[in-house]
């Protein structure tokens, strides 16, 4: 792919020659005054000399941030970008998650990039930077991260931390930001006995920020003896990035808790540019906050030390109800209701269940049954199949057992398809919600498949209860997760070409129609910061509950100047992205 990284190009693209610092633009919107970060149309924007000096400091790893689709266009701005060979490669890999996560700035869900530079067969098609950052530091060591954090703080420019771009909510990109890419931090070291702070004396691993889920599972399995780690179901998610910092649920969470429940230590670069270790003895307040307090909020994480566990036998079942079985909406809906109303039963048996739902299609892939063989899993699922059969619900299903979790994971989980456009929301339903209001919860999830006459939806469900394996924890994760039953992500589907006004209308539908139905059906539930609604009402309580006041206090301590920003995370109450999704500004 075409890259623009050398000093001459850095000098050519900089368009401001003034060096005044910290004096961002003051704007007024609807009677509210804002003090904005510095942007290229302000005198405070760093000069060409400033950018060149940063490039020298980081040893030449500063690059112009080029959208991945730019190689299919003649130019972006006044810079030539077209490459027939690179364009063919991008087009062939546009639905390949690994290819996109390896890109310096690509976002797997492109809505928040503004879709303004996509692959095309016509190189004359216009291409703009959209909402991508302007420069990216391809960090390979923590000194590069420190230099980027210091530069952003000293020049009052927006800073984005980008690991894989595996992000539903646009937090891996930002208009004219300086991006720090941590994807190259790939080292993972395993020990049979942890000797650091805290009570844990079992096996552990220290994992670099750029290690992805399937990579980590593979390396854990390669140990002698093999071990497992609590990670997500998606193979490309950056495990030690936003996943853990937001909490992190996954296939082993019902028996071992959330990803963040199992963290032993963090190595970080703070907003002040300091190298700080956070664990039970050193900086325990930061340690607490990083375990679920929000991605890119308190510090840049360079590596994490985490508990590992012995490998375990695991069985799985895949079940489908779709139009090959029935076109009767009432029959289909009843089948989903029967399935979902047993959520408490599944987690009581230590299971994690992943499902996808849209109009006329339920795909459960799979029921995850740690510590079970085929016979035990079939026995645990007997209430489900008995009820489906009694109600004459047609379906297909099959069950397989594996000697290890890793072999199960490689066989039965399916890769996601990136570059979809949607407005995302979600809700955590508690055991109480399911026990007392299960049918209403199921109805709300079904409703999300077509919330209005002119919209359709797609839902992704995770039936999980971290409170089974870790009922009592001391971290920032919402306490409601200790009584969880089903967490469902909702999507209002778009094609990416909608007007700004239409995008805002789709956000309204997600928040005030789909989200409202979920909140009413699950009043005892909560929301999840990694996979939620950016416009969630009362988001502080919805995402963190009683933990929020402490998180806000710690944000003010560790990042008083607001160097780190991701929407709806602690301390962002007075910050807003205005100017049609472009400028990050603070009220007052």
Which pLDDT band holds residue 3 (cuts at 50, 70, 90)? very low
Is the predicted pLDDT of residue 29 greater than 90, yes or no? no
Domain extents in the chain: 7-11+32-181, 188-310, 314-537
Which CATH number applies to 314-537: 3.40.50.10800, 3.10.129.10, 3.40.462.20, 2.60.120.380? 3.40.462.20
Is the predicted pLDDT of residue 15 greater than 50, yes or no? no
What are the residues whose beta carbons fall under 8 Å from the beta carbon of 388, sequence distance 6 or more?
335, 338, 339, 395
Query: Can you tell me the distance from the alpha carbon of 106 to that of 98, in angstroms, rounded to the nearest whole number?
Result: 11
% of the chain residues with pLDDT over 90: 93
3-state secondary structure 222-284: CCCCCEECCCCCCCCCEHHHHHHHCCCCCCCHHHHCCCHHHEEEEEEEECCCCEEEEECCCCH
- The three-state secondary structure class of 588 is coil
% of the chain residues with pLDDT over 70: 96
Is the predicted pLDDT of residue 16 greater than 80, yes or no? no
CATH architecture of residue range(s) 188-310: 2-Layer Sandwich (3.30)
Is the model more confident about 78 or about 262? 262
Which pLDDT band holds residue 5 (cuts at 50, 70, 90)? very low
3-state secondary structure 509-575: HHHHHHHHHHHHHCCCCECCCCCCCCCCCCHHHHHHHHHHHHHHHHHHHHCCCCCCCCCCCCCCCCE
Residue 359 — φ and ψ, nearest 5°? -55, 120
Report pLDDT for 58.
Answer: 98
Which pLDDT band holds residue 415 (cuts at 50, 70, 90)? confident
Q: Mind listing the pLDDT tens digit for each residue in 422-459?
A: 999 999 999 999 999 999 999 999 999 999 999 999 99
Report pLDDT for 582.
Answer: 96
Query: Can you tell me the distance from the alpha carbon of 112 to that of 133, in angstroms, rounded to the nearest whole number?
Result: 12
Calculate mean pLDDT across residues 282-308: 98
Calculate mean pLDDT across residues 248-258: 98
Report pLDDT for 20.
Answer: 38
Is the predicted pLDDT of residue 173 greater than 70, yes or no? yes
Domain 7-11+32-181 has CATH 3.30.43.10: yes
Report pLDDT for 7.
Answer: 37
Which pLDDT band holds residue 38 (cuts at 50, 70, 90)? very high
Closest by Cα among 256, 202, 211 to 229: 256
- Give buried/exposed letters for 336-373 (b at 16+ CB in 10 A, else e): bbbbbbbbbbbbebbbbbbbbbbebebbbbbbbbbebe
Query: Can you tell me the distance from the alpha carbon of 556 to that of 4, in angstroms, rounded to the nearest whole number?
Result: 37
Calculate mean pLDDT across residues 218-243: 96
Which pLDDT band holds residue 56 (cuts at 50, 70, 90)? very high
Report pLDDT for 22.
Answer: 55
Calculate mean pLDDT across residues 247-269: 98
Query: Can you tell me the distance from the alpha carbon of 566 to that of 294, in angstroms, rounded to the nearest whole number?
Result: 8
Calculate mean pLDDT across residues 34-58: 97
Report pLDDT for 416.
Answer: 87
CB 484 within 8 A of CB 430: yes
Calculate Rg over the CA atoms of the chain. Answer: 24
Is the predicted pLDDT of residue 551 greater than 50, yes or no? yes
Structure tokens at 89: 């490669």
Q: Mind listing the pLDDT tens digit for each residue in 178-212?
A: 999 999 999 999 999 999 999 999 999 999 999 99
Report pLDDT for 11.
Answer: 36
The pTM of the full predicted model, rounded to 2 decimals, is: 0.95
Report pLDDT for 23.
Answer: 64
Calculate mean pLDDT across residues 328-352: 98
Mean model confidence pLDDT for the chain: 95
């Amino acid at each position: 792919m075409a890259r623009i990284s050398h000093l001459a190009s850095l000098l050519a693209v900089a368009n401001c020659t003034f060096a005044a610092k910290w004096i961002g633009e003051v704007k007024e919107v609807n009677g509210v005054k804002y003090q904005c970060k510095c942007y290229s149309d302000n005198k405070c924007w760093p000069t060409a000399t400033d950018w060149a000096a940063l490039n020298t400091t980081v040893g030449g790893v500063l690059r112009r941030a080029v959208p991945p689709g730019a190689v299919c266009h003649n130019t972006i701005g006044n810079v030539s970008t077209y490459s027939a060979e690179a364009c063919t490669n991008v087009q062939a890999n546009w639905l390949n998650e690994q290819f996109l996560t390896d890109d310096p700035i690509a976002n797997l869900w492109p809505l928040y990039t503004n879709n303004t530079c996509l692959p095309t067969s016509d190189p004359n098609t216009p291409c703009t930077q959209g909402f991508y950052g302007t420069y990216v530091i391809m960090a390979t060591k923590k000194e590069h991260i420190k230099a980027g954090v210091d530069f952003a703080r000293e020049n009052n420019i927006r800073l984005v931390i980008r690991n894989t771009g595996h992000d539903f909510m646009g937090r891996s990109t930002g208009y004219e930001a300086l991006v720090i890419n941590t994807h190259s931090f790939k080292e993972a070291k395993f020990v049979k006995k942890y000797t650091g702070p805290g009570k844990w004396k079992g096996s552990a691993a220290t994992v670099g920020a750029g290690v992805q889920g399937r990579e980590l599972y593979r390396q854990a399995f390669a140990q002698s003896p093999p071990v497992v780690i609590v990670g997500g179901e998606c193979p490309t998610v950056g495990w030690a990035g936003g996943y853990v910092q937001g909490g992190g649920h996954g296939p082993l969470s019902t028996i071992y808790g959330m990803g963040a429940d199992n963290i032993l230590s963090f190595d970080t670069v703070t907003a002040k540019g300091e190298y700080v270790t956070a664990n039970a003895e050193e900086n325990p307040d930061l340690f607490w906050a990083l375990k679920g307090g929000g991605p890119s909020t308190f510090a840049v994480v360079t590596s994490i030390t985490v508990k590992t566990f012995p490998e375990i036998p695991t069985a799985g079942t895949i079940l489908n109800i779709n139009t090959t079985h029935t076109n009767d909406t009432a029959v289909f809906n009843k089948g989903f209701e029967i399935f979902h109303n047993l959520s408490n039963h599944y987690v009581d048996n230590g299971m994690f269940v992943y499902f996808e739902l849209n109009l006329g299609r339920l795909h459960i892939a799979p029921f995850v049954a740690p510590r079970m063989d085929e016979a035990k899993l079939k026995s645990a699922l007997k209430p489900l199949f008995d009820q489906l059969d009694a109600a004459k619900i047609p379906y297909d299903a099959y069950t397989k057992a594996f000697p290890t979790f890793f072999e199960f994971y490689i066989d039965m989980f399916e890769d996601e398809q990136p570059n979809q456009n949607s407005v995302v929301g979600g809700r955590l339903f508690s055991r109480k919600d399911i026990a007392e209001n299960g049918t209403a919860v199921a109805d709300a999830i079904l409703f999300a498949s077509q919330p209005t006459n002119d919209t359709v939806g797609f839902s992704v469900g995770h039936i999980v209860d971290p409170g089974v394996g870790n009922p009592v924890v001391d971290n920032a994760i919402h306490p409601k997760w200790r009584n969880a039953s089903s967490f469902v992500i909702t999507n209002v589907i778009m094609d990416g070409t909608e007007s700004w006004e239409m995008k805002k209308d789709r956000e309204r539908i997600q928040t005030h129609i789909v989200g409202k139905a979920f909140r009413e059906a699950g009043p005892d539930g909560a929301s999840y910061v990694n996979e939620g609604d950016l416009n969630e009402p009362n988001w502080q309580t919805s995402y963190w509950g009683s933990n929020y006041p402490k998180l806000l206090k710690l944000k003010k301590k560790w990042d008083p100047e607001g160097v780190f920003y991701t929407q709806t995370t602690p301390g962002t109450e007075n910050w807003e992205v205005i100017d049609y999704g472009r400028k990050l500004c603070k009220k007052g």
